[in-house]
């Protein structure tokens, strides 16, 4: 007779299916905890504070602190997916901006991966002028 042993932490997720057995999580997140509202707000804030040198994908040194904190936060939620979006303004040509902002999002993705975030949960997408968050007009 075979025995089947399923150990569960207090979250109800069997340890064999639980990718985070030491922390209470959900079945839907494979044992990882839900992202708290506070962490969502912090992730959004930190994402808005990432800056680059003019006309290239090199991160400004001041942005590294924000990215380090962002990496620490999202590494708590390895079952989640993080979409990194870069939105251009209307300065410069659309083709240039599209390429630049794709490179910038890839720079952020690569930085987070070097800090331990799994590539499988990161998606980097750059947008040109066709998908602006803010519309800029010449004075």
**Each residue of 23-72: pLDDT tens digit?**
555 556 555 667 788 988 998 899 889 999 888 899 999 999 999 999 99
pLDDT tens profile 107-129: 999 999 999 999 988 989 887 66
Tokens of 109: 């993705």
118 lies in the same domain as 51 = yes
On whether both 46 and 89 belong to a single domain, the answer is: yes
Q: How many CB atoms lie within 10 A of CB 25?
A: 22
What is the percentage of the chain residues whose pLDDT exceeds 70? Answer: 66
Residue range 8-16: mean pLDDT, rounded: 50
Q: Are residues 59 and 78 in the same domain?
A: yes
Query: What is the 3-state composition of the chain as percent helix, strand, coil, each rounded to the nearest 5?
Result: 40, 10, 50
């Amino acid at each position: 007779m075979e025995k089947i042993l399923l150990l569960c932490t207090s979250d109800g997720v069997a340890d064999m299916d639980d990718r985070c057995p030491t922390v209470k999580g959900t079945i839907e997140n494979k044992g990882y905890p839900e992202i708290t509202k506070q962490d969502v707000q912090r992730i959004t804030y930190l994402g808005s504070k990432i800056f680059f040198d003019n006309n290239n994908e090199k991160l400004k040194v001041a942005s590294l602190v924000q990215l380090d904190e962002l990496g620490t936060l999202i590494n708590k939620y390895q079952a989640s997916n993080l979409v990194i979006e870069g939105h251009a303004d209307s300065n410069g040509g659309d083709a240039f901006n599209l390429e630049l902002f794709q490179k910038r999002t890839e720079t952020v993705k690569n930085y987070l991966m070097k800090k331990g975030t799994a590539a499988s949960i990161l998606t980097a997408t750059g947008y040109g002028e066709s998908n602006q968050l803010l519309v800029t007009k010449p004075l």
